Amino acid sequence: MQTDILIIGQGICGTFLSRELERAGLSFMVIDEERPATASRAAAGLINPVTGRRMVKTWMIDELLPVVRESYEPDFIRPVSVVDFFPTPQMRLAFLKRYEEDPQYLRLPADEHHWDAFFHYELGYGCIESCYLVDMQRLLGAARKRMVERGLLRAERFVVEELVVGKPVAGELAAGEWVDGRYGGRYRDIEARWVVFCDGIESSQNAYFSRLPFAPNKGELLIIEAPDLAGGGNWGSVEDGALASVVFKKGMSIIPWKEGLYWVGSSYEWSFEDPGPTKAFRERTEAFLKYWLRVPFRTVEHLASVRPATLERRPFVGLHPLYPAVGILNGMGTKGCSLAPYFARQLVGLLASGVPVRADADIGRFRKVLGSG
């Protein structure tokens, strides 16, 4: 069979790439081995415009939020507020300082004792607004079902050694030289003009992109049941006291997950031997929850995944300098829900019209590394 683009992976990047290709009138086929513990499927789905100990704006957030609002179907996204309990006096001062300098996205509560019935907190809290929560499980599941029904997804493991692409290109490519598909790829019975890797951390192991500066980052999380945190995973409006529309944070986050369940985490481990769930994380997190929560809880699941983070904390988007039939949309780290819609659109602009990807995400910045043979 022939198609314009063969997509490897159906996480958040592969899902949005398929949508943008369809909008652009380009055909595609997806290959994805369904696994429950991928980074996309274990992600909380939180889009937060403010981050870090210094409460700075998330990279590109002012550009990303409009794309987020128009890209997600209403059934899969809802606005939430983040109640940020201050874990230290320094964090309280950082929040107040940022609020003084730039109150966009920040709010001070009218009553710092509002959450006393549910949480132990001594230093008060601030609120972060213009946040969104994406129901990743339902979003990815619905997209997969739609693609399977249309015969656009093969649920199988991709074997990169069986991918055959055009000969390496010497020197710089002339504008539009690759657009006519002369350097297309073939995988088993599929012939494609381009093959795009959206397979998370797996891309760091294939011969085309193993030289990119991936920085695998492990995250562990608990799924807990806490009946007295009323609202659970129900969808609702943003109102003070509407717990289904509130994310709680104090170092770790408690995020509405599914009916009556909450996502708790996550860890950020740059050096690890075991990619799976560990006893140490569970014990540490449960001890913290017993200290933080005033209501009972029960752990129902313990998950772990490895995020496709990068050393520069910038995505990898674009076409390989030597093999222009091979592309990548990857390296979103913890920000996949906000970055994937924007950069899927950027990559399709490149494929369909030759519009360059923004320079700080384009893998062309690693031309010397990727083009060294």
The pLDDT assigned to 53 comes to: 75
| Under 8 Å between Cβ of 147 and 30 | yes
Where is average pLDDT lowest: 21-25, 146-150, 258-262?
A: 258-262
* Cα separation, 6 vs 33, whole angstroms: 14
For the stretch 148-202, pLDDT in tens is 999 999 999 999 999 999 765 544 443 334 434 445 899 999 999 999 999 999 9
CATH number at residue 251: 3.30.9.10
Alpha carbon separation from 96 to 3, 127, 131 (Å, rounded): 54, 11, 19
* 89 burial type by CB count under 10 A (0-12 exposed, 13-18 middle, 19+ buried): exposed
Alpha carbon separation from 122 to 54, 83, 266, 367 (Å, rounded): 20, 14, 22, 51
Task: Please report, rounded to a whole number, the percentage of residues in the chain having pLDDT higher than 90.
Answer: 76
The pLDDT assigned to 168 comes to: 56
The pLDDT assigned to 167 comes to: 63
The pLDDT assigned to 58 comes to: 93
Determine what percent of the chain falls in helix, strand and coil, rounding each to the nearest 5.
30, 30, 40
Q: Is the pLDDT of residue 71 over 70?
A: yes
Specify whether 129 is located in the same domain as 185: no
Please tell me which residue, 170 or 146, carries the higher pLDDT value: 146
Where is average pLDDT lowest: 35-49, 52-66, 266-280?
A: 35-49
Please tell me which residue, 271 or 349, carries the higher pLDDT value: 349
Please tell me which residue, 183 or 50, carries the higher pLDDT value: 50
Number of domains in the chain: 2
Q: Is the pLDDT of residue 84 over 70?
A: yes
For the stretch 3-19, pLDDT in tens is 999 999 999 999 999 99
Mean pLDDT of 213-239: 73
Mean pLDDT of 119-146: 95
250-254 long-range Cβ contacts below 8 angstroms, 24+ apart: 250/84, 250/85, 250/86, 250/87, 250/119, 250/121, 250/292, 251/87, 251/288, 252/285, 252/288, 253/44, 253/46, 253/82, 254/224, 254/229
Specify whether 144 is located in the same domain as 25: yes
**What's the mean pLDDT when you consider all of the chain?**
89
Please tell me which residue, 244 or 48, carries the higher pLDDT value: 48
The pLDDT assigned to 169 comes to: 52
The pLDDT assigned to 238 comes to: 39
Q: Is the pLDDT of residue 35 over 80?
A: no
3-state DSSP call for residue 120?
coil
Q: Is the pLDDT of residue 248 over 80?
A: yes
CATH number at residue 178: 3.50.50.60
For the stretch 269-309, pLDDT in tens is 888 888 899 999 999 999 999 999 999 999 999 999 999 99
Mean pLDDT of 90-102: 93
Specify whether 57 is located in the same domain as 32: no
Where is average pLDDT lowest: 18-22, 55-59, 354-358?
A: 55-59
Specify whether 67 is located in the same domain as 208: no
Strand partners, 46: 133
* Cα separation, 81 vs 52, whole angstroms: 17
Alpha carbon separation from 246 to 18, 225, 234 (Å, rounded): 31, 16, 11
Read off the tokens for 295: 């209501």
Q: Is the pLDDT of residue 234 over 80?
A: no
Residue 296's domain comprises 46-134+217-307
Specify whether 123 is located in the same domain as 160: no
Angle between helices 336-353 and 12-24 (to 10 degrees): 40
Number of helices (H) and strands (E) in the chain: give both, helices first. 8, 19
Place of tokens 């093969």: 154
Please tell me which residue, 179 or 69, carries the higher pLDDT value: 69
Specify whether 226 is located in the same domain as 263: yes
Q: Is the pLDDT of residue 233 over 60?
A: no
Read off the tokens for 321: 């300098």
Q: Is the pLDDT of residue 318 over 80?
A: yes
The pLDDT assigned to 244 comes to: 59
Read off the tokens for 200: 């998370």
Q: Is the pLDDT of residue 237 over 50?
A: no
Specify whether 231 is located in the same domain as 128: yes
The pLDDT assigned to 120 comes to: 95
Last residue of a domain, which of 307, 333, 348?
Answer: 307
Specify whether 142 is located in the same domain as 19: yes
Instruction: pLDDT band for 230, please (50, 70, 90 cuts).
Output: low
The pLDDT assigned to 171 comes to: 46
Last residue of a domain, which of 280, 307, 334?
Answer: 307
The pLDDT assigned to 273 comes to: 85
* Cα separation, 262 vs 17, whole angstroms: 29
Quick one: which H or E segment has residue 106? strand 106-107
Specify whether 245 is located in the same domain as 108: yes
Last residue of a domain, which of 285, 307, 329?
Answer: 307
Specify whether 163 is located in the same domain as 244: no
Specify whether 170 is located in the same domain as 209: yes
The pLDDT assigned to 39 comes to: 74
Specify whether 298 is located in the same domain as 364: no
| Closest alpha carbon to 158 in 355, 326, 311, 45 | 326
Alpha helix segments (H runs only) across the chain: 12-24, 39-42, 61-71, 89-101, 136-149, 279-292, 336-353, 367-370
